[in-house]
Copies of this chain bind each other. A is one copy, B any other.
């Protein structure tokens, strides 16, 4: 199937500081709010997650929103707050890059750079990211075939950077009960075809808070190298994606339920 020339089924282990992802290392947890909203919100979340147990802190600062009239993120100011929160808790951070213009500064502040679903086909951006050494988390496009996703990773790798983590986040289907259809078969397939670590985002993958824990369990049971979940101290006040965010209590319950698969 694969026509890759760089990502040729050889196991890739991605290092973030001392943390190893993929290649048989224990699965990891990336957690945090959809968006960085304020210093208080992100630092409080980081410290609380750290205490409960987490590997990496996430938080969006450049937000690709469907409407130009929705909250677009705090931008560079938010990036600095995220870094501050990561430092306060002593954990690495990940955030999304939407625009080449911000690549240098995001590369300076973040430990992993995320390419969101809407930019999986943004080959100009992928090529630029290929020139970095920084780990890249590449989300699957919302209706990308597995082959297109493989080739998007190959764009980055071909331009020089094989530190890639793939992230399944649900695909678009005809059903409207869930926000997306989480395609877990992608986990064993993409691991085998590319050799890269594959993690799963059950928050976007379902859009429903109650499904985050069962789908995290399913993801880990079929071999995911980690999960990426949205956690907000007060989901009801979140500026985006509140419905799919766990509160801290919910995160605690998640950790309990995935305990057979993961060690924190």
List residues of chain A with CB under 8 Å of any chain B CB: 1, 3, 5, 64-69, 98-101, 117-119, 121-124, 142-143, 145-148, 151, 154-155, 158-159, 171-178, 181-185, 187-189, 205-206, 210-211, 214-215, 217-223, 260-261
Q: A185-B211, A214-B223 are in contact. List 17 more A-B contacts (CB 8 A).
A: A3-B67, A3-B69, A64-B121, A66-B147, A68-B123, A98-B122, A98-B124, A143-B143, A143-B172, A147-B177, A171-B181, A173-B183, A175-B183, A184-B215, A185-B215, A188-B214, A221-B221
Copies per complex of this chain:
4
The answer to whether B145 and A174 have CB atoms under 8 Å apart is yes
Residue of B nearest to A6 (CB): B68
Query: Do residues A100 and B98 form an inter-chain contact, with CB atoms below 8 A?
Result: no
Task: Give complex CA distance A181, B119 in Å.
Answer: 22
Select the residue from A151, A205, A220, A261 with max chain B CB neighbours within 10 A.
A151
Q: Within the assembled complex, what's the spacing in Å between the Cα atoms of A97 and B206?
A: 33
In the assembled complex, how far is the CB of residue A7 from the closest CB belonging to chain B, in whole angstroms? 11
Q: Which residues of B contact A261 (CB under 8 A)?
A: 221
Q: Is the CB of A183 within 8 A of B181?
A: yes
Known: A64-B121, A67-B154, A218-B218. A145 touches B185 (CB 8 A): no
Least Cβ–Cβ distance between A65 and chain B, in angstroms = 7
State how many angstroms separate the Cβ of A142 from the closest Cβ of chain B: 6
- C-alpha spacing A238/B257, complex, angstroms: 40
- Compute how far the CA of A145 lies from the CA of B179 in the bound complex, rounded to whole angstroms: 13
Find A174's partner among B143, B206, B223 (CB 8 Å cutoff). B143
Shortest CB–CB separation between residue A123 and chain B, in angstroms? 5
Note all chain B residues with C-beta closer than 8 A to A100.
99-101
User: CB < 8 Å: which of B147, B159, B175, B206 contacts A145?
Assistant: B175
A178 and B189 within 8 A (CB) = yes
- Would A189 and B177 count as touching, CB distance under 8 A? yes
Docked Cα-Cα span, A66 to B192, in Å, equals 20
Q: Which residue of B lies closest to A124 (CB)?
A: B99
Could you say which residues of chain B place their CB within 8 Å of the CB of A66? Answer: 147-148, 151
- The distance in angstroms between the C-alpha atoms of A147 and B67, with both chains bound, is 10
> What's the Cα separation between A159 and B172 when bound, in Å?
29
Are the CB atoms of B171 and A65 closer together than 8 Å? no
In the complex the two chains form, what is the Cα distance from A223 to B184 in whole Å? Answer: 15
CB atoms of A69 and B124 under 8 A apart: no
Query: Which listed residue, B119, B151, B155, B171, touches A173 by the CB 8 Å rule?
Result: B171
Inter-chain CA distance A210–B122, complex, in Å, is: 31
The residue of chain B having its C-beta at the shortest distance from the C-beta of A207 within the complex is: B185
